[in-house]
């Protein structure tokens, strides 16, 4: 035989073994044989039976006694070779062997695999009938079972001597060392805002089911605030409404039979900062004002991103932002309007946003008028009206499908001209695929995710009451190369 044939069998429970006769095996279409470990009548030539154990012999782990085989005749095969335990798990085992050296004059009918439970004296066939396979997988074994195995070659003249495993097979649960897989987004500090929920699911491995422990800053969790639910493959830490006190270093420990794995997660719960503690108007000169303030007492449990400074004219009362995310605590505000009086206020800012309140100056900054007499000069008003003319034409462009592209040109005209974009002499205004922008004489056409269909001649036309002008360019969208 050049390769090994395989067969699978299942084992019945000890309760089923005693009273029932041997089950008739069924042959699957693929040629595999299913059998059960049970006692009863043999339908094949019966292998040699063991003798009862001597009461003085060692108890459970000893090899079951067998009769001393008679010298084999030329009609029966010899014992199979190299009986090996290939694999064993918590519910199955696989054994293999090689054909015997002598097959007998009448030829080989197959093999019979038998087992004997530890402490028993009777060998029970796994397959009642001989099967022509040299490897068998026995399934549906119970945890804790311990038994010996042997295999016998059978011919029409009878069974030859058996090949027996030297050591008993013990079916026990496979232990898998614990291992924790921390998700990528939790390998950095996990940030939440006050009032938000915290829901962390940490997968782990380990067999049998390991013990799971959580700690917060080295102490046990507060069960009134933190809920933990651990299963066979993951552990979930849940906080319904996070508070700043929930920030800190969390450690997950998975323990299994003297082995353990640990993982650390840092959680930071933040909120908006308080306003600066105080603000002072230091000086006013010309069109400038100098301010100084002190940092807030509460930064919201995280570092500040800076300060936002605003000003308001006394007459309008409207606030305008002067500085954003400004880090120093002193600043000079310029370009104030002469004759106006100003108030100033400062917000603090962190990851949650600006502080709900601001600190406002108590004093007003008065920008006084200088005693200067203006002498207006006579001038001749000039007419700046002109017809549209393009100072920068459109340029031919090549684009890649799927990547947005833009066409640029610049136009000069007074009064401000109306800009019309066309593709192949067709107006494309209002098409959502195109976005046209005209600002300070610069005209831009954005083509969103173009395809080869968008290739063509694009025209930009400027029109006012004095005339019109246009420029063209060719856009080519190259199709992606296929490999």
Name, in order, each residue with C-beta under 8 angstroms of 111's C-beta and a sequence gap of 6 or more: 80, 97, 130, 131, 132, 133, 134, 151, 152, 153, 154
Q: Which two tokens stand for residue 367?
A: 């920008």
Let me know whether 109 and 199 are in one domain.
no
For residue 396, the domain's CATH number is 2.60.40.10
Q: Which two tokens stand for residue 337?
A: 């309007």
Give the pLDDT band of residue 44 (cuts 50, 70, 90). very low
Instruction: Please give the full DSSP string across 218-246, using - where no structure is assigned.
Output: TEE--TTTEEEEE-SSEEEEEESS--GGG
Let me know whether 363 and 392 are in one domain.
no
Task: Supply the pLDDT for residue 137.
Answer: 87
In a domain, 315, yes or no: yes
Lowest mean pLDDT, pick from 57-71, 74-88, 95-109: 57-71
Q: What is the mean pLDDT of residues 135-161?
A: 84
Name, in order, each residue with C-beta under 8 angstroms of 48's C-beta and a sequence gap of 6 or more: 66, 67, 69, 152, 159, 161, 162
Instruction: Please give the full DSSP string across 129-156, using - where no structure is assigned.
Output: S-BS-SEEEEE-PPTT-EEEEEEEEEET
- Give CA–CA dist 148/169, Å, rounded: 6
Could you say which of 203, 236, 270 is where a domain stops? 270
The count of structural domains within the chain is 4
In a domain, 143, yes or no: yes
Planar angle of CA 195, 199, 200, nearest 5 degrees: 140
pLDDT in tens, 85-97: 888 877 888 889 9
Task: Read off the DSSP letter of residue 377.
Answer: P
Let me know whether 380 and 293 are in one domain.
yes
Could you say which of 213, 235, 270 is where a domain stops? 270
Q: How much is the mean pLDDT over the chain?
A: 82
- Give CA–CA dist 214/212, Å, rounded: 7
Let me know whether 399 and 378 are in one domain.
no
Task: Supply the pLDDT for residue 15.
Answer: 39
pLDDT at 50 over 50: no
Let me know whether 369 and 441 are in one domain.
no
In a domain, 307, yes or no: yes
Residue % of the chain over a pLDDT of 90: 47
Task: Supply the pLDDT for residue 256.
Answer: 85
In a domain, 52, yes or no: no
- Give CA–CA dist 342/360, Å, rounded: 11
Task: Supply the pLDDT for residue 192.
Answer: 94
Give the pLDDT band of residue 4 (cuts 50, 70, 90). low
In a domain, 14, yes or no: no
Task: Read off the DSSP letter of residue 86.
Answer: E
Let me know whether 263 and 294 are in one domain.
no
Q: Which of 49, 133, 138 is nearest to 99 (CA)?
A: 133
pLDDT at 461 over 90: yes
pLDDT at 289 over 90: yes
pLDDT in tens, 265-285: 999 999 999 999 999 999 999
- Give CA–CA dist 438/418, Å, rounded: 9
Task: Supply the pLDDT for residue 32.
Answer: 39
- Give CA–CA dist 90/443, Å, rounded: 75
pLDDT at 9 over 80: no
Give residue 409's domain range. 387-477
Let me know whether 443 and 360 are in one domain.
no
Lowest mean pLDDT, pick from 17-26, 159-168, 321-330, 376-385: 17-26
Query: CB burial class (10 A; 0-12, 13-18, 19+) of residue 222?
Result: exposed
In a domain, 457, yes or no: yes
pLDDT in tens, 327-353: 999 999 999 998 899 999 999 999 999
Asked if 287 contacts 334 with a C-beta cutoff of 8 angstroms, the reply is yes
Instruction: Please give the full DSSP string across 347-369, using - where no structure is assigned.
Output: EEEETTEE-SS-EE-SS-EE-PP
Let me know whether 221 and 149 are in one domain.
no
Let me know whether 469 and 407 are in one domain.
yes
Could you say which of 366, 384, 402 is where a domain stops? 384
Let me know whether 380 and 391 are in one domain.
no
Let me know whether 289 and 375 are in one domain.
yes
The whole-model pTM stands at 0.48
In a domain, 3, yes or no: no
pLDDT at 318 over 80: yes
- Give CA–CA dist 381/384, Å, rounded: 9
Let me know whether 226 and 136 are in one domain.
no
Give the pLDDT band of residue 116 (cuts 50, 70, 90). confident
In a domain, 200, yes or no: yes
Q: What is the dihedral of CA 478, 480, 482, 483, to 10 degrees?
A: 110
């Amino acid at each position: 035989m050049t390769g090994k044939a395989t067969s699978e069998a299942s084992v019945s429970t000890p309760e089923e073994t005693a009273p029932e006769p041997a089950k008739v095996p069924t042959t699957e279409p693929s040629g595999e044989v299913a059998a059960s470990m049970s006692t009863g009548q043999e339908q094949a030539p019966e292998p040699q039976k063991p003798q009862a154990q001597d009461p003085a012999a060692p108890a459970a782990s000893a090899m079951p006694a067998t009769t001393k085989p008679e010298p084999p005749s030329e009609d029966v095969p010899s014992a199979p070779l190299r009986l090996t335990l290939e694999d064993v798990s918590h519910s199955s085992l696989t054994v293999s062997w090689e054909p015997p050296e002598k097959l007998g004059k009448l030829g080989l009918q197959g093999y019979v695999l038998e087992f004997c439970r530890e402490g028993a004296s009777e060998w029970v066939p796994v397959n009642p009938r001989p099967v022509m396979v040299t490897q068998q997988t026995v399934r549906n074994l119970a945890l804790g079972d311990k038994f010996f195995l042997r295999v016998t070659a059978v011919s029409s003249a009878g069974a030859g001597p058996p090949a027996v495993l030297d050591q008993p097979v013990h079916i026990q649960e496979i232990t898998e060392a614990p291992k924790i897989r921390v998700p990528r987004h939790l390998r950095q500090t996990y940030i939440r805002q006050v009032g938000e929920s915290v829901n962390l699911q940490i997968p782990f491995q380990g067999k049998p089911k390991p013990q799971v422990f959580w700690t917060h800053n080295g102490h046990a969790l507060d069960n009134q605030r933190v809920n933990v639910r651990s299963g066979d493959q993951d552990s979930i830490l849940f906080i319904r409404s996070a508070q700043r006190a929930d920030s800190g270093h969390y450690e997950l420990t998975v323990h299994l039979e003297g082995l353990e794995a640990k993982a650390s997660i840092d959680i930071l719960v933040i909120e908006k900062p308080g306003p600066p503690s105080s603000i002072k108007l230091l000086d006013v000169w010309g069109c400038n004002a100098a301010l100084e303030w002190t940092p807030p007492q509460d930064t919201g449990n995280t570092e500040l991103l800076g300060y936002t400074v605003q000003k308001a004219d006394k007459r309008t009362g409207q606030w305008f932002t002067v500085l954003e995310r400004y880090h120093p605590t002193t600043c000079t505000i310029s370009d104030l309007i002469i004759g106006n009086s100003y108030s100033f206020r400062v917000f603090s800012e962190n990851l949650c946003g600006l502080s709900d309140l601001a600190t406002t100056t108590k004093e007003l900054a008065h920008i006084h008028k200088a005693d200067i007499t203006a002498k207006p000069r006579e001038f001749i008003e000039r007419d700046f009206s002109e017809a549209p003319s393009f100072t920068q034409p459109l340029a031919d462009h090549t684009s890649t499908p799927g990547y947005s592209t833009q066409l640029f040109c610049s136009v000069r005209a007074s009064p401000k001209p109306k800009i019309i974009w066309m593709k192949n002499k067709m107006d494309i205004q209002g098409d959502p695929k195109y976005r046209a922008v005209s600002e300070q004489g610069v005209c831009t056409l954005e083509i969103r995710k173009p395809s080869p269909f968008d290739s063509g001649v694009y025209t930009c036309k400027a029109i006012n009451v004095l005339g019109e002008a246009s420029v063209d360019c060719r856009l080519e969208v190259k199709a992606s190369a296929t490999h």
